[in-house]
Amino acid sequence: MQKEMVEFKKNFEERLAAASKEKVKIVLKEQYSDAFDVLHDCENANLIPGIIGPPGTGKTLLLRAYAEKTGRDLYWVTGDEGVRPSHLTGAFNPSIVLNKGFGLEAFEPGPLLKSMVNGGVFGLNEGNRLSEYVQNSLLDPFEEGSISVQRLGRIKAAEGFFPVLTMNPEEMSGAHRLSEALRDRIRVWIKLGYPRKQTELEIIKMNSPEYTISDATLERIYGLVSATRVSTDIEIPASIRAGISIARLSAEMTKRKKEKSVSYATLSEASTYVLVGALRFRPGIDTEPAVNALVRRSLGS
Amino acid sequence: MASQPKIAPLPSNAPPFAHEFTKRMRNRKDVTKKPSVRQTQSIPMLLSARFFRNGKLTLEDFLDVAVYTTYPPDQKIAREIAEDILLGREKEIKNPDEQAVVAKSTVVKTDALAKVMDQIKREQELAKVIKKDKVEAGYEYLLELRKQKDKSLYNASKDYLTDGEIVLRGITSNEELKDTASAELMDKFGDLSSQDIQNSQILDCLNEVCDSPNAAEQIAASSLMGDKDVQQKFSDLSRIDTSTAARALRHMEEMGTLTTEQQKAMDQILQDELDDLSEVADYAKELGRVPDNIDKHIKDAPQKFSLSDAAEFAKNIKESTGTDIMDDLLKQYDEQYDSGADKNVDMRQLAENARQSESWKSLVEKEAQCVLDSADSRSSPSDFLRSVLAQNQPLEKNLPSQDAQKQWDKAMQKFADGAVEKSPTKSHLRQTVKHASRLGQVPSEKAIRNAGERLNMTEEEILELINPSFEVIKKLIQAGVNDFDRLHNLMSAAGLSPQQLRQLGDMAAQLGNQGALGAVAHEDLHAALGTGGSGMRPSYGRASYGAQGRPGADQPTDQERIDLAFGGLLGGPATNIIKIWYTYRDELPPELKQRLFEIAKRLLIDLGMRYARATMGSSMLGGIMESTTVRPFRIGDDIDLIDLEETIDSLLAQGSTSFKVIETSDFLVTETYQGHRAFYWALDKSGSMHAPKKLGMLAISVMAGLYGIKKDDFGVVLFDHETHVVKEIAQRTIAVEKVAADLLEARAGGGTGGQESIKLAIRNFEDSKAKEKIFIFATDMYLSDQAICENLVERMKPLGIKLIVLCPTGEYNPQAAHALAKKGHGVVLDIDSIDELPAKLLRVTNY
């Protein structure tokens, strides 16, 4: 048992080191480079930015890259109705409290408090999905850079604390609205859309460094994912991530089948595997036949 | 119009700009969110950050910052206002209001045109202001450029820059022009045409094209440059990527950089590398011709591709080259059917790719036989064939020719006969015959007879299946058969006249055969009760019941018969009884009507409960509420949720006496759950809905809705030309019985106006705190106010209301239904019978 624990500890530390060595891979071009600059400006001007873009356009990646380039950690949380303020700031572990009282050692900090104390970038994903009560609990940290931790006192955020909100443009209105108060605290709105063809192809290539994928295959993949973005039957189209997945899966399948290049059959198989889960169709449309038809139409032409 | 910017791009001008900008934004009526003081602060803050980063500010920075600090839905307006301020267009500012008034009265087209013109004007002005000094120089240069004898540079640059752009960008020399045009050209990398590659030579960026990320463009550019190793590069590319190679070859052919020998040699290399039909399709698409060895690929296709995929390639090849290979393909699939091609063919693909050819027919026959053979390996061969028949029979109507339909019909007949022949029991055989007949594929007499004999059926039983006739039914009733299902199936299959039904009813009543009388009642209630009139023949003595309820000429005198008939009625499907109520409610004497009403009401409530359970279960999707149950603490839970009483109680119950050793999970916290959802049904009862089937179906669906979401918000409204509110969401307590009674008394009539009910729904939803809001619009969509309804439902998506248009299959106006659903981002659900409702509703809602 002890041997196993020693082994685990060693491997765990190795992995920790590997994670800290890993560089964020991002194509800083066009909208991404503009957004990156604006993030810089916002931080210097002490303004809180919101990044608005459909799923999979690289909002989180941009934040990760920003944190890395400025030498900080990124802490992030995805909002939903179940998140409560204690999930953001942290909570006491009652069993330790019972023995040691309400002290710091009984406290398990949440991502918001960590980023405030360590001076990191705090990404609040889909903040609009938080309940209004939780959204309002963010006003103090966002506006004043301070937070009151129950029973421990009020703290002032460290110098590098930089909160950023990211959300989906579809939800600017409707059931999941940003609370009026929080919306007013977001001072700068950066819009991200799907990148231009060449940039998207470059992103796919960058994320599949171990495979050589031909131009024709890349074009087909792009054709397919961009077709999903114009179809009126699709509510959530293929993201850049889906394009990368298709490229990688088809390249790997080709390797396994020992084919010289990605064949039609392989590409269509890989695309179907990826898109069945990646797309959301309008209600009433059966996913599988719709994906099959889409793949056949797009790859065949 | 001003030709100078009103505000110079200096940091000191940021605060006045911000103030002016937010002031004007607040005055605009069409902004979604009025800017707060915070935005006025943010603009100078962001601008100074930019100034310190770049060392200077431009007018575009002012514009960007104004847009970035504005809430996204208003960013368009922000851009407009910021431009107005920067360009000093005070006078024009007043105009938009006036223009807006005029614009409203003009047609949409002019509106759109004006918008574009406005945009162009603004851009031009902006450009003028920003680079005014350069513009004149640019214009001079353009004039000079056009005068030059050698037009090649001008022509090449025209593909990337318009004359206006040359002027606006202030281009003053050939070098500058080449640089600017090259940059535009290089932006198109990956999408270059042959002309672009040729232009790159004139614009001095051919070297850059040689390094394009696209291999086809690289090779074509190298070839234009006269590189010696082009052929080698091409053959390397052909080995790994034939379609990009085909594109390279097309570029080179179009540019004429190859000698005939080189072209032939490269084409040959490429053709030799083509692996399969998909690559042939790419080759054909790029080069507009088919390779010489296409026959080989056609021959290989059946082993490699499904028929649908191959057909798609054939379609593409035909579109690019005009060569139709579909017949050859089908021939190959047919010839290789037994040697592996069978895996790539199925009935659906054959239906989708039907052709007038012997090969197609032969394929259909082989595939049908194959399905029949494979049935025996299934756990229930007959059920398998029944489902195959159900899947494939409807495909027949889409086949292109009568000949093909005939062939398809033959295959379907085989499935129907097969299903009959493989039926394991008598009742299964009866069901199979009924099922196949309902699909329109009556099993052959021979097959039924064989199966009947195998199952030891009597001659009568067999005849009953082959020809369900009056005489057969009569004999069965006389023989005392009182199996409701069997008799009812026969009666509906035989298509009996009211007189015949009457005879059967009389006989069943005399013999006291309740099952038979019930079966008759389900076909014709009057025949069963022995009353006059008929649901099918409304003129048959309908007016004979006066206010006193005086019996007609052949009125039932026999109370026993009535009891027997109502008893028998209950043996049949409840949904049918609701339909019977709507059919006969006006034709019965008061006491019988009341009796039927009570039965229908009870059944409607029962049905509601039954379908509710099947459809929705009980889910909660709303805000967070504290429940009365507790669960163990998990790290991250709010410590305030710990229920100390329960925790201590449970610790003591476990026998703990010391709190020193205590686990996190020993603490119990109050469970939280999410709130509720809201449903609103609008039910059309207009004249066009006057059919018992439609009304019955909708009534049951409303009841199901009512039961399924008892804990949630629920509202119902009935409408024709006026609206009748059954229940508003705010009315928390209302008796189910009242809703059922209201629904049963609903009378179709009058024109259809949906707008009031939609307005009511929206108002109800606005007052509801539910997180999930669903509006079910049950109608046949023959609305008199379609346009107004469409406008109204447009408001639903922003309010988070999900729209479901529920229509009776085949009896509604599909265009109108889809138009409405599209406007409201909703969905059309057509249901043929109430049994379909749970599954279909389940698919579009998340329960």
Contact residues on chain B for A150, CB-CB shorter than 8 A = 639
Q: What is the mean pLDDT of residues B62-75?
A: 87
Strand A121-125 to A74-78 pairing: parallel
> Is B46 within 8 Å of A173 when comparing Cβ atoms?
no
B572 pLDDT more than 80:
no
User: Regarding predicted confidence, which is higher, B552 or B226?
Assistant: B226
- For an interface test with B, the pick among A29, A40, A41, A234 (most B C-beta atoms closer than 10 Å) comes out as A41
What gap in Å lies between CA A125 and CA A117, rounded to an integer?
20
According to the model, what pLDDT value does residue B719 have?
81
Mutate to test the interface with B, among A77, A95, A221 (most CBs of B within 10 A): A95
Half-sphere exposure of A138 (CA within 13 A, CB side): 32
Asked if B138 and B171 touch (Cβ cutoff 8 Å), the reply is: yes
Alpha carbon of B321: minimum distance to chain A alpha carbons (Å): 14
Helices marked H in A52-102: 59-69, 85-89, 94-100
Q: How far is B375 from chain A (nearest CA, A)?
A: 24
* Closest residue of chain A to B73, computed from CA coordinates: A172
Q: Compare CB distances from B798 to A81, A174, A216 and report the shortest one's residue.
A: A174
Say yes or no to pLDDT of B91 above 50.
no
Contact list, A98 vs chain B (CB under 8 Å): 659, 662
Residue of B nearest to A232 (CA): B822
Q: Do B53 and A38 touch (CB under 8 A)?
A: no
CA-based nearest distance A179→chain B, Å = 12
The answer to whether the pTM exceeds 0.95 is: no
pLDDT in tens, B755-787: 888 888 888 888 777 767 888 888 888 888 888
- Nearest CA-CA distance, residue A251 and chain B, Å: 13
Residue B807: its H or E element: strand B801-808
Q: What is the pLDDT of residue B145?
A: 82
Q: Which chain B residue lies closest to A287 (C-alpha atoms)?
A: B843
Helix (H) / strand (E) element for B824: namely: none
DSSP 8-class letter at A179? P
Confidence check: pLDDT of B72 > 70: yes
Q: How far is A133 from chain B, CA to nearest CA, in Å?
A: 11
Over range B381-392, report the average pLDDT: 87
Q: How far apart are CA B554 and CA B547, in angstroms?
A: 18
Report residue B549's pLDDT band, with 50, 70 and 90 as the boundaries: very low
Taken as a whole, chain A contains a residue count of: 301
Q: Which of B38, B623, B797 is opposite residue A187, by nearest beta carbon? A: B38
How many contacts, defined by CB atoms under 8 Å, are there between A and B? 168
Residues facing residue B802 across a β-bridge: B774
- Say which of A201, A214, A283 has its CB closest to residue B244: A214
| Chain A neighbors of B215, CB-CB under 8 A | 214-215
CA distance A36 to B493: 73
A282-286, B47-51, B360-364, B470-474, range with the lowest pLDDT: A282-286
Which of B71, B214, B662 has its CB closest to that of A98?
B662
Strands B827-831, A153-156: pairing is: unpaired
**Nearest CB to A45; choose among B45, B73, B674:** B45
Q: Which of B436, B443, B485 is nearest to B462 (CA)?
A: B443
State the best of B639, B771, B818 to mutate against chain A, taking most chain A CBs within 10 Å: B639
Closest Cα partner for B566 from B514, B608, B601, B606? B514
Name the closest residue on chain A to residue B275, using Cα atoms.
Answer: A263
CB contact under 8 A, A98 and B659: yes
- How many Cα atoms occupy the beta-carbon half-sphere of B648 within 13 Å? 3
**Residue written as tokens 């970035």?**
B68
Asked if B771 and A44 come within 8 Å (Cβ–Cβ), the reply is no
Q: Which two tokens stand for residue B391?
A: 């899947």
pLDDT tens column, B259-313: 888 889 999 999 998 888 888 988 998 888 889 888 899 998 898 888 888 888 8
| Pairing of the two strands A90-92 and A146-149 | unpaired
pLDDT digits (tens, 9 = 90+) for B501-546: 888 888 888 888 888 888 888 888 888 887 765 444 333 333 333 3
Nearest chain A alpha carbon to B285: A301
Residue among A42, A108, A172 minimizing CB distance to B635:
A108
Q: ipTM of this predicted complex? A: 0.73
Is it the case that residue B550 has pLDDT exceeding 60? no
Could you give the CA distance from residue B300 to residue B77 in angstroms, rounded to a whole number?
60
Distance from CA of B792 to the nearest CA of A (A): 16
Please give the pLDDT value at position A249.
92
Torsion of CA B599, B600, B602, B603, to 10 degrees: 110
| Mutation for B interface: A80, A102, A189, A218, most B CBs within 10 A | A189
Q: Hey, are the CB atoms on B49 and A93 less than 8 Å from each other?
A: no
Report CB contact under 8 Å: B636, A185: no
Residue A237's pLDDT band (cuts 50, 70, 90): confident
Classify A172 as helix, strand or coil.
Answer: coil
**Which member of A98, A131, A216 has the closest CB to residue B623?**
A131
- State how far residue B15 is from chain A, nearest Cα, in angstroms: 14
Mean residue pLDDT of chain B comes to 79
Q: What is the pLDDT of residue B32?
A: 78
Q: Which residues pair with B714 in a beta bridge?
A: B679
Task: Return the DSSP state at B229.
Answer: T
Task: Give B433-468 pLDDT, tens digit per residue.
Answer: 888 887 778 888 888 888 888 888 888 778 777 777
Nearest Cα residue in chain A from B237: A214
Share of chain A above pLDDT 70, in %: 95
Contact check, Cβ <8 Å, A98/B244: no
| Chain A residues lying within 8 Å of B36, measured CB to CB | 184
Among candidates B52, B239, B771 on the partner chain, residue whose Cβ is nearest the Cβ of A44: B52
Residue of chain B with shortest Cα separation from A109? B636
Count CB-CB contacts under 10 A for residue B299: 16
Quick one: which of B734, B724, B679 has its CA closest to B702? B679
Q: How would DSSP label each residue in B603-642?
A: HHHHHHHHHHHHHT-----SSEEEEEEEEE--TTS-GGGB
Q: How confident is the model at residue A164 (pLDDT cuts 50, 70, 90)?
A: very high
Asked if pLDDT for residue B358 goes beyond 70, the answer is yes
Residues B639, A92: C-beta atoms closer than 8 Å: yes
Mutate to test the interface with A, among B241, B270, B640 (most CBs of A within 10 A): B241
A229: distance to nearest CA of chain B, Å? 17
Q: Quick one: pLDDT at residue B103? A: 44
Nearest CA in chain B to A41: B49
Alpha carbon B218 to its chain centroid, in Å, reads: 43
Identify the pLDDT of residue B611. Answer: 67
Query: What is the token pair recorded at A118?
Result: 């360590």
Question: B845: pLDDT confidence band, cut at 50, 70 and 90?
Answer: low
For every residue of B259-328, DSSP letters joined together read -HHHHHHHHHHHHHH--SHHHHHHHHHHHSS--TTHHHHHHHHHHHS-HHHHHHHHHHHHHHH----HHH
Cα of A49 to nearest chain B Cα, Å: 9
b (16+ CB within 10 A) / e for B743-782? bbebebeeebbbbbbbebbbebbeebebbbbbbbbbbbbb
Q: Is the pLDDT of residue B729 over 80?
A: no
Contact criterion met (CB < 8 Å) for B313 and A81: no
Cβ of A219 within 8 Å of Cβ of B844? The answer is: no
Percent of chain B past pLDDT 70, that is, above it, reads 82
CA distance B153 to B149: 10
Q: Which residues of B touch A47 (CB under 8 A)?
A: 42, 45-46
Question: What pLDDT is attached to residue B123?
Answer: 67
Cα gap B247→B36, rounded to integer Å: 56
pLDDT at B515 (0 to 100):
83
Residue B627 has pLDDT above 70, yes or no: no
- Report helix, strand or coil for B182: helix
**Is A264–B189 a contact, with Cβ atoms under 8 angstroms apart?**
no
The Cα B147–Cα B137 span in angstroms is 16
Q: Which two tokens stand for residue B239?
A: 């080995």
Question: What are the pLDDT digits (tens) for A240-294?
Answer: 888 999 999 999 998 888 887 788 888 888 999 998 888 888 766 778 888 888 8
Residue B1 pLDDT exceeds 70: no
